[in-house]
Amino acid sequence: MSSLLDMLQQHKIVAILRGIEPQHAAATAKAIIDGGVRLLEVTMNTDGATSIIHSWRSSFGDGEARIGAGTVLDIDMAKEAVAAGAQFIISPNLDEDVIRYGIEQGVPVWPGCMTPTEIVRAWKAGAEAVKVFPMGTLGWKYLAEIRAPLDRIPMLATGGVDLDNIGDYFRAGACAVGMGGKLVNLDWVRAGEYERVTERVRQFVDAVAKL
CATH number of the domain at 70, please. 3.20.20.70
pLDDT tens, residue by residue, 156-186: 999 999 999 999 999 999 999 999 999 999 9
Number of domains in the chain: 1
Position 64 confidence tier, pLDDT thresholds 50, 70, 90? confident
Residue of 30, 131, 195, 210 with catalytic role: 131
Q: What is the pLDDT of residue 62?
A: 72
**pLDDT for residue 88:** 98
Looking at residue 155, its pLDDT comes to 98
Could you give the percent of the chain with pLDDT greater than 70? 99
pLDDT the model gives residue 61: 67
Question: Is 41 noted as a catalytic residue in this protein?
Answer: yes
Please tell me which residue in 12, 30, 41, 128 is annotated as part of the active site.
41
> What is the mean predicted confidence (pLDDT) over 113-129?
98
Structural domain boundaries, residue 43 = 3-209
182 is catalytic: no
The DSSP-derived string for 137-198 is HH-HHHHHHHHTT-TTS-EEEESS--TTTHHHHHHTT-SEEEESTTTS-HHHHHTT-HHHHH
Q: What is the pLDDT of residues 67-97, one digit of tens each?
A: 999 999 999 999 999 999 999 999 999 999 9
